[in-house]
Structure 1
């Protein structure tokens, strides 16, 4: 009799563990589904592909993406959703295609979406030390390293030289209707408290530090100053290491 009760208890405990694990798995799936759904719906509302391609002032080293040049973003609609939206970032042939926000501090959009609702994936957001018009010498953008490859998870791919060569530009769309293009030139890994997360730097010294620790890099003219765009994400969950991709301002076009 005692053995039957013990067997029943073990069965009930095992069933509870199974149900709890199943619930957690299902809830995790739902959270990722909700994040992807919300971002996809936002893109469908505000990202338009026009028939007219923007005229570039000069050609990039390997040519710009034609679809990126034909894109336009409905910032009027974005601003009606959340006035903290200050831009849109796009890297062709990657999952990076998101609104950029700037909150009151660096926690504002760490775990909140553009509707200001809780979201474990948060948003792509600008460091509070930066000006929202991207005019600083080093503008820093953060995004989570999501397990499903969304947000800034794709940055880790840039540690491979061939990947950097085949995904060479960052496109940033601005509320004034213009498009700023950044030439990706370096991938690095920093500690979360690194002094590289800064602005107002001596340009040549800062560039020398970047290039001295690059995992992958492109040749760059360090004598001629150009504003930098620093994309940063966690290397792994609960890690103090950060994957960083640097872009160097190439041109702004309307």
Structure 2
């Protein structure tokens, strides 16, 4: 009798153990399926956002093929790059410019100015809900790129889009090789900027100042932000200079930002 009871207890334990194992397995499968679905949603969203900006480029950008010099002594002829702002502003009246890097060439996007600094964080240029968002100018800037410091925000996306490629400027070789970028505006002007600051900052109030009471305050600010840079190139900046601050997340700490700051060196 005792042996029968012992066998019965063992069977009961095995049954419970089997049920628990099956339950754990089912839960694990559910977690796996849910995680897979979430990843699919994320990558699908990334794909849709990237595709939208590629289609915008095809629609509004005209670029002549790059011409090589016929003789070694002749300078290399740069291709002409034009933006159809009439179409862009018809698509989105908040359009204020287009930013373009020769390298990293992935950075070639429209720039907008919204009513606040939240609107375009998860809204694409064509007003679609998407984590890529849109590159946008600070709400307190004029949006004309004539302020002493114009701030442009953009996400550091894991698929390499938006301002993710700015982090290449952590490397000194890249910083020195590609120090320029251009901003095009609806009035037909192209402004060329030279980078003089690139680095990680935690106190954004320092680098993100855009209003200055005097020339002296502005020049003191320039010296301060140079101290936040990984590298210190010899770039001429004076009281009449206009700079642009490009800001993105580091994806390391919530309070950290990677900033690239550049001064306007020419306009045409």
In the superposition, the TM-score normalised over structure 2's length comes to 0.84
Of 247, 251, 254, 1:236 maps to 251
Matched, 1:143 2:158: no
Unaligned runs of 5+ in 2: 1-14, 68-74
Structure showing greater Rg: 2
Deviation at 1:7, TM superposition (A): 3.2
CA RMSD of aligned residues (A): 2.1
Deviation at 1:222, TM superposition (A): 3.5
Matched, 1:80 2:125: no
Distance of 1:220 and 1:100 partners within structure 2? 26
Q: Which structure has more RCO (C-alpha within 8 Å, separation ≥ 6)?
A: 1
Q: Which residue is equivalent to 1:59?
A: none
User: In the alignment, is the contact (CA less than 8 A) between 2:98 and 2:108 conserved in 1?
Assistant: yes
Distance of 1:65 and 1:227 partners within structure 2? 27
Q: Which residue is equivalent to 1:49?
A: 63
Distance of 1:206 and 1:197 partners within structure 2? 10
Distance of 1:28 and 1:22 partners within structure 2? 10
Distance of 1:223 and 1:50 partners within structure 2? 35
Matched, 1:91 2:105: no
Q: Which residue is equivalent to 1:38?
A: 52
Q: Which residue is equivalent to 1:116?
A: 127
Of 73, 78, 98, 1:66 maps to 78
Matched, 1:207 2:222: yes
User: In the alignment, is the contact (CA less than 8 A) between 1:189 and 1:244 conserved in 2?
Assistant: yes
Give the paired residue count. 242
Question: Structure 1's 238 and 80: CA in aligned 2 closer, same or farther, altered over 3 A?
Answer: farther
SS in 2 for 1:87: strand
Distance of 1:39 and 1:48 partners within structure 2? 15
Unaligned runs of 5+ in 1: 54-62
Matched, 1:158 2:172: no
